[in-house]
């Protein structure tokens, strides 16, 4: 049997609670391939008499990403079709947990993104929205004017890129780069 759950335990979305052979999936849960998972951030209630498992949502001041939240993070890697982000802030709160998310190339912008490296580079500071937490993976989107890169570094020399007209230019070495920027790029707001 899997790790045993107890009433009162704190769980996050996608966390395994049990299997349908043992329990009836009640409120705050969902079933996938016979396994019961939490749908909420909250506390587990195991009703051992009626064999029901529920999750009661915690108050909305928790420090974990959730669907609909605006998050800020660092780009830790860029692959051909997606970007990895380490999430450091959820809403107005900085978090210390180890949460990461991905931005798929189709969620970068409302415009078609031909080359993801013209949108993000490792080390960029980015603001995004959580659009899904399926399978405990935070899927992020930067579609919208207020979402995207907040601060980027020159891939040649590492200096901060300055926004000049519509391009990002390195004031140290003159290199020009492209990003999917947020409208408040470089203003120091995160």
Interface pick for Zn ion out of 67, 122, 137, 157 (rule CB under 5 A): 157
Distance (Å) of CA 44 to CA 35, 77, 115: 15, 35, 44
Backbone angles phi and psi of 76, in degrees to 5: -100, -15
* CB-nearer residue toward Zn ion: 100 or 177: 177
Extract the tokens encoding 87. 């999430």
CA angle (58 as vertex; 55, 59 as ends), nearest 5: 155
- Find out whether 20 and 2 touch, Cβ atoms under 8 Å: no
Q: Does residue 164 bind Zn ion (CB under 5 A)?
A: no
Q: Does residue 156 bind Zn ion (CB under 5 A)?
A: yes
Question: Using CB under 5 A, which of the segments 28-36, 59-67, 81-89, 165-173 binds Zn ion?
Answer: 165-173
d(CA 36, CA 13): 11
Interface pick for Zn ion out of 147, 154, 168, 181 (rule CB under 5 A): 154
Restricting to residues 167-186, which ones interact with Zn ion according to CB under 5 A?
Answer: 170, 172-173, 175
Site string for Zn ion, 6-45 (x = CB under 5 A): ----------------------------------------
Extract the tokens encoding 26. 């009640």
Bridge partners (DSSP) of residue 131 are: none
**Residues 72-86: b if buried by 16+ CB within 10 A, e if exposed:** bbbbeebeeebbbbe
At its nearest, how many Å lie between Zn ion and the CB of residue 101?
Answer: 28
At its nearest, how many Å lie between Zn ion and the CB of residue 165?
Answer: 18
At its nearest, how many Å lie between Zn ion and the CB of residue 177?
Answer: 9
Q: Which residues bind Zn ion (CB under 5 A)?
A: 154, 156-157, 159, 170, 172-173, 175
């Amino acid at each position: 049997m899997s790790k045993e759950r107890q009433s009162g335990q704190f769980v996050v979305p996608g966390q395994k609670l049990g299997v349908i052979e043992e329990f009836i999936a009640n409120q705050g849960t969902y079933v996938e391939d016979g396994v019961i998972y939490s749908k909420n951030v909250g506390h587990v209630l195991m009703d051992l008499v009626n064999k029901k498992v529920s999750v009661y949502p915690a108050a909305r001041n928790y420090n974990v990403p959730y669907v609909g939240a605006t998050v800020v993070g660092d780009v830790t890697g860029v692959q051909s079709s997606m970007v990895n982000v380490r999430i450091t802030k959820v809403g107005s709160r900085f978090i210390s947990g180890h949460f990461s998310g991905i931005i798929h190339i189709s969620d970068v912008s409302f415009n078609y993104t031909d080359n993801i490296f013209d949108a993000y580079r490792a080390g960029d500071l980015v603001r995004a929205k959580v659009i899904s937490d399926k399978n405990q993976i935070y899927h992020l989107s930067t579609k919208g004017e207020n979402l995207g890169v907040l601060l980027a570094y020159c891939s040649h020399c590492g200096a901060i890129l300055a926004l000049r007209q519509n391009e990002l230019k390195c004031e140290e070495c003159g290199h020009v780069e492209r990003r999917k920027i947020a409208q408040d790029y470089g203003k120091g707001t995160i």
